[in-house]
Chain A
């Protein structure tokens, strides 16, 4: 009984040549299939190569049909376990839910000039810091700038969500992951709506850039929308 690395779950179909060459295959049960490859002994290493390989497999399969991407690192102890997994009613439910959907990730990042914009109303603190650039004055000013930037983030994110709202089925908003990050949004959309989202992002950029830069990635498998609502088993 060999161990299997799990990439995700899909509907039974032919695996593309390129993935077959990488020893990726399906374990099928009725209308559901686990996307796996055989794995040697030992744990899975979270290397750059392995992470990108995982993404490559689920994203290539997603080009043609629904894929529920697994989180990185799941190992099945043989085909039996794959079949048990496929038998979960939740899996069928999610496959039906995501038939025809995809995820777009939309990240916003500010140019540094945003700091001057949000700091425009902080003249007394700015003057104080310029006259006497002490650590305390710097913290006082920087903290105020940070608050103003947070307000700007919230404002811009709600503007973006408001504009995209009619086009998206669901949204997951992550936390900004760097000082000048504006927002990090996962958007669940119909595959047919991708182009409309692109247009809307262009429209948003014409209003918000500069200082805002957008990065739009997709159509991707619904990475952020595959939560299983099932009880945790101890």
Chain B
């Protein structure tokens, strides 16, 4: 029973199954032999710039505050008052904004490595069309 309830919270993949899985592992880890062999690459400088999303930004704080406030309201107030309806409207906007920002960094990377809307797009976490608009929020991640 416990297993059943936890199963939905585990994603299991036997091998790297998309760019998100391999990106950091191949660019940041792996055997480093710089002393003996020259790296011959283009594109990496661009990639590494966006590899990390800066977590502690004013933008993040405001999103956190907004989210806590919204989740708080959901818990304590079931009334269908006018202010409540207003909050609901704002809630959807906030949701979209948060998602876009969180995924914006990885999205920017995908754009740079030539990930278009091509048919071989098998990334597991690529299913969000909305993250395509992540470029807007990308600038906010700094």
Contact = CB atoms under 8 A, between A and B. Distances in A.
Contacts of B62: 135, 138-139, 142
B16 A142 contact: no
A203 B114 CA distance: 39
A44 B16 contact: no
Contacts of B31: 8-9, 68-71, 94, 226, 228
A151 to B, nearest CB: 14
Interface string B21-54: 1111111111111111111111110010001110
B27 A76 contact: no
Interface in A63-111: 68-77, 81, 84-85, 88, 94, 105
B80 to A, nearest CB: 19
A141 B65 contact: yes
A223 interface: yes
Given A45-B42, A48-B110, A216 B13 contact: yes
A217 B32 contact: no
Interface residues of B, number: 73
B3 A202 contact: yes
Given A130-B69, A142-B65, A69 B30 contact: yes
Interface stretch (A17-25, A155-163, A174-182): A174-182
A187 interface: no
A21 to B, nearest CB: 18
Contacts of A220: 15-16, 25
A139 B58 contact: yes
A139 B62 CA distance: 6
A233 interface: yes
A164 interface: no
A46 B52 contact: no
A137 B67 CA distance: 14
Given A72-B30, A177-B105, A233 B36 contact: yes
Contacts of B68: 115-116, 119, 122, 126, 141-142, 145
A206 B33 CA distance: 42
A212 B60 CA distance: 20
Interface string A126-154: 10011001010111011101100100000
A52 to B, nearest CB: 6
A71 B71 contact: no
A73 B39 contact: yes
A27 interface: no
B6 interface: yes
A46 B43 contact: yes
Given A116-B72, A202-B10, A71 B64 contact: no
10 contacts: A46-B41, A51-B22, A52-B16, A71-B29, A74-B38, A115-B67, A142-B63, A143-B61, A146-B55, A203-B2
Interface of A: 6, 8-9, 43-49, 51-52, 54-55, 59, 68-77, 81, 84-85, 88, 94, 105, 112-113, 115-116, 119, 122, 126, 129-130, 133, 135, 137-139, 141-143, 145-146, 149, 172, 174-180, 186, 198, 201-203, 205-206, 209-210, 212-220, 223-224, 226-228, 230-233
Given A172-B29, A179-B60, A214-B11, 15 more contacts: A43-B42, A47-B113, A47-B114, A49-B120, A70-B33, A73-B40, A73-B41, A116-B71, A138-B62, A141-B65, A146-B64, A178-B55, A178-B106, A206-B2, A224-B25
